Amino acid sequence: MSTPDPSLIARASRGDRQAFAELVELLHPRALRFAQRMLGDALDAEDAVQETFIRVWNALPRFREGAPFDPWFFKVLGNRCRTLLDRRRRQMTQTLETELPGAPQVAQPDYDWNEEVGRVLAQLPTDQREAFLMHHVEGLSYEEISEVTGAGLSALRMRVKRAMDTLRVQLAGVANA
Amino acid sequence: MRDEIKDDIVLKRVVETLQELPPRNPALVARILAETAAAPVRLPWWRRFVLPLPAVAGLAAATLAIGVWFGSQRGGASADATAGLPGTSVATTPAAASGPGGAPAGAAMRPVGTDDEALMPVQFTIDHPEAKTVSVVGEFNDWNPEAAPLERDPSSGSWTTTIALAPGRHVYAFVVDGVLVADPRAPRAADDDFGRPGSVLLVKRP
């Protein structure tokens, strides 16, 4: 797990640009992983990660040394992802309102495991997807996710459970194929 | 891999798939560093202070009581926040709703809001006879500890200042002998995601 050393964060928070560059180098693959899974789009994910690091750079001087970095970082990143998702939803709504109804989309059979995982993950409600990724992929505790999202612990456990149930049911057939 | 899924064949495979890291992206890194290279480093005022932990602990152990009283109608809001604290103090305010209760703020204050908004005097008071210096900082003065010093009342040992603030929500803290301290009698700022203490003050429109 590419969690930055506290001394690196401390240096970056004092305005050390070399330390910040090391932080970006260390964290950006993990940030991209989360953003790509949240947004389902590589370019949008890059935008979210870029905006996140710019915000982190501006806010790092106010970050309290010794405080857990991951929850704070994922709070910023999660907010950027949500903002992009909201913007995309509004654009889609506007597009749909101006288009004639077309043929219903029919899912094409596709048994590529990675694509299926991405497809099912994208179908999850944003809250469930976010909680599942933070807990099981990024390794945050429920307490940390609660700090990040503002949601209660029981609600978060329920979100993760529902996400797990959906993933298990939807992907069981693919896993056995 | 967390215990709850390590025996679940499908979910274990899902998580393993999702944990695969994308390759490093040099172009993205370059863009980020180019964007931030143009941004100035703006260290907040507390980076100028060296705060040894013993000093902070000692201060916390002292019977420090700080508070801001939001006028008579806001007094109840601070009660829960002071539970367990040996607080005495308090302070101030004006009366955002009941009419001006204090002198106008110092010239150094930069109120939040537009120029056409009426400013309301807000009095901050803390009871700390041993303190050498006390000031109040917030978004309204760019967290500058020199902008709003409090004056000590020799008879009571309390410190007071009155500043003019625009109606709305303000996040603030006290600086007692160089140590940033949230107001224990006021609600904590829920959006204080930088780990710094902060309290919330609501100034009503006149």
The full 3-state SS of B70-130, as one line of letters, equals: CHHHHHHHHCHHHCCCCCCCCCCCCECCCECCCCCCCCCCCCCCCCCCCCEEEEEEEECCC
Contact A46, A92 (CB under 8 A): no
Distance from CA of A30 to the nearest CA of B (A): 6
Chain A residue numbers touching B32 (CB-CB < 8 A)? 24, 28, 49-50, 53-54
Give pLDDT, residue B114: 43
Give pLDDT, residue B59: 42
Distance CA B163, CA B119 (A): 9
Q: How far does Cα B46 stand from its chain's mean position?
A: 12
Identify the three-state secondary structure at position B161: strand
Residue type, A142: Y
- In percent, the amount of chain A with pLDDT more than 70 equals 86
Is the predicted pLDDT of residue A132 greater than 90, yes or no? yes
Distance CA A42, CA B119 (A): 48
Chain B residue numbers touching A53 (CB-CB < 8 A)? 32, 36
Give pLDDT, residue A50: 95
Distance CA A113, CA A125 (A): 21
Among B5, B31, B36, whose Cβ lies nearest the Cβ of A57?
B36
The residue of chain B with its CA nearest to that of A52 is B32
The residue of chain A with its CA nearest to that of B194 is A63
Is the predicted pLDDT of residue A67 greater than 50, yes or no? yes
Instruction: Give the torsion sign (CA, B28, B31, B33, B35).
Output: negative
Inter-chain touch B35–A54, beta carbons under 8 Å:
yes
Q: How far does Cα B202 stand from its chain's mean position?
A: 13
Distance CA B173, CA B158 (A): 16
Chain A residue numbers touching B37 (CB-CB < 8 A)? 17
Give pLDDT, residue A120: 92
Distance CA B192, CA B185 (A): 17
- Two structure tokens written together for A161: 């459970």
Overall average pLDDT of the A19-32 stretch:
94
Give pLDDT, residue A22: 93
- In percent, the amount of chain A with pLDDT more than 90 equals 55
Phi-psi group of A69: left, alpha or beta (phi > 0 → left; psi -120 to 50 → alpha; rest → beta): alpha
Exposure string of A156-165, with b = 16+ CB inside 10 Å and e = fewer, is beebbebbbe
Considering A102-106, A125-129, B98-102, the range whose residues carry the highest mean pLDDT is A125-129
Residue with tokens 């009581």: B65
CB pairs under 8 A between A and B: 108
Of A37, A133, A39, A23, the C-alpha closest to A82 is A39
Q: DSSP class of residue B145?
A: T
Residue type, A50: Q
- At residue A101, φ and ψ (nearest 5 deg) are -60, 135
Distance CA A150, CA A74 (A): 13
Q: Which helix (H) or strand (E) holds A142?
A: helix A142-149
Give pLDDT, residue B70: 40
Distance CA B82, CA B67 (A): 9
* Contact map slice: A 94-123 vs B, CB within 8 A: 113-114, 117, 121
Inter-chain touch A168–B8, beta carbons under 8 Å:
yes
Overall average pLDDT of the A139-148 stretch:
91
- Report mean pLDDT in 10-residue bins for chain B, 206 residues: 81 91 92 83 57 40 38 32 28 34 31 54 84 86 82 86 85 82 72 62 79
Give pLDDT, residue A159: 95
Distance CA A99, CA A94 (A): 9
Distance CA B173, CA B180 (A): 7
Inter-chain touch A136–B23, beta carbons under 8 Å:
no
Q: DSSP class of residue B168?
A: E
Can you state the angle between helices A42-59 and A69-98, rounded to 10 degrees? 140
Contact B179, A61 (CB under 8 A): no
Q: Which of B18, B53, B171 to mutate to test the interface with A (most CBs of A within 10 A)?
A: B18
- Two structure tokens written together for B5: 């899924």
Exposed, middle or buried, A45 (CB in 10 Å: 0-12/13-18/19+)?
A: buried
Overall average pLDDT of the A85-106 stretch:
62
- At residue B186, φ and ψ (nearest 5 deg) are -115, 160
Chain A residue numbers touching B41 (CB-CB < 8 A)? 15, 17, 61
Which residues, at least 6 apart from A21, have a Cβ–Cβ distance to it below 8 Å?
A: B29, B33
